[in-house]
Amino acid sequence: MDKFTIFTGKPAVIYRNDIDTDQIIPKQFLKNILRTGYGQSLFYDWRYQSDGRPNPAFILNQPAYQDAQILIAGTNFGSGSSREHAAWALMDFGFRVVIAESFGPIFYNNATKNGLLPIKLTKAEVKSLSQATDQDRITVDLTNLTVQFREQTFHFAFEPMYRYKFLNGLDDIDLTLAHADEIDQFEQQLPDFGAATPGVPVKSTLHS
Say how far apart CA 169 and CA 114 lie, in whole Å.
10
Average pLDDT over residues 137-156: 98
* Largest pairwise CA distance in the chain: 71
Say how far apart CA 21 and CA 10 lie, in whole Å.
23
- Which residue ranges does the chain devote to CATH 3.20.19.10? 6-174
Q: What is the pLDDT of residues 35-70, one digit of tens each?
A: 788 999 999 999 999 999 999 999 999 999 999 999
- What pLDDT is stored for residue 194 in this prediction? 55
- What pLDDT is stored for residue 199 in this prediction? 56
Quick one: pLDDT band at residue 32, thresholds 50, 70, 90? confident
> How is domain 6-174 classified at the CATH fold level?
Aconitase; domain 4 (3.20.19)
- What pLDDT is stored for residue 24 in this prediction? 98
- What pLDDT is stored for residue 202 in this prediction? 53
Least confident span in 20-34, 169-183, 185-199: 185-199
Q: Residue 21, Cβ neighbours under 10 Å: how many?
A: 25
